[in-house]
Amino acid sequence: MTNYLSYQFTDSQEFVDTFDEVPLWSAAFGLLLLKHLELKPDLTVLDIDVIY
């Protein structure tokens, strides 16, 4: 039942760092966008993610 405690991650540090940092700086912008975006049927939205 506690075998999850010995799980070894094989993801690269760069991969993990990307997910650790992205929500920290982008969450406020996403909330601001959703606050001012008028959602309606048949709305076309383009979401572009840029990762350096």
Cα gap 23→29, rounded to integer Å? 10
What is this structure's pTM?
Answer: 0.35
Give domain status of residue 2, yes or no.
no
3 occurs within a structural domain: no
CA atoms within 13 A on the CB side of 35: 6
Its domain, for residue 41, covers 8-52
Count of the separate structural domains present in the chain: 1
- Asked if residue 25 is part of any domain, the answer here is yes
Question: Cα(52)–Cα(48) distance, rounded to whole angstroms?
Answer: 13
Does any domain span residue 1? no
Q: 1-52: per-residue pLDDT in tens?
A: 688 788 887 888 887 777 666 666 677 787 788 788 888 899 888 878 777 7
